[in-house]
Amino acid sequence: MKRSSLIGMMVLLILSSAWGHGHPGQIDDSMPDAQRIRFCERVRDHALQAFYNRDKGRPMKLFDEDGSDGARITNHIIRRIYEEPQISSPKKAETFGRATCNEMMGTSAASE
């Protein structure tokens, strides 16, 4: 009985550590790029949604451009995902969205 509970505890520890990977850690608000990193995380989510929409044959959903960088960058990424067949997986869409956002925002820090 003790052996099975010990094995169960070890499995839980391994699973909990595996689930923690791939998620960005907490971002300190005192960091100069904290807002940019958070913005690029949201843009990454929009890139992923655009990929799923494209795969399901749905029309492209763009944001109304009001002169802000946010709508311009997000729309640029969404258009490129629809245009580029090389973006062929959710991981590629996330990576493209994050990298393009960081490049366009001038952020050197990645959100991983």
CA-to-CA separations, 2 to 12, 13, 16, 19, 34, in angstroms, rounded = 15, 17, 21, 26, 47
Q: What pLDDT, on the 0 to 100 scale, is given for residue 66?
A: 87
Residue 39 lies in a domain: yes
Residue 89 lies in a domain: yes
The residues near 8 (Cβ < 8 Å, ≥ 6 apart) are: none
Residue 50 lies in a domain: yes
The C-alpha angle 101, 105, 108, rounded to 5 degrees, equals 90
pLDDT digits (tens, 9 = 90+) for 56-112: 999 999 999 888 888 999 999 999 999 999 999 999 999 999 999 989 887 544 444
Which residues form the domain of 91? Answer: 32-105
Nearest to 92 by CA among 61, 59, 36, 50: 50
pTM value? Answer: 0.66
Decide: 41 and 109 in contact? Cβ < 8 Å.
Answer: no
pLDDT digits (tens, 9 = 90+) for 9-29: 555 556 544 444 444 555 555
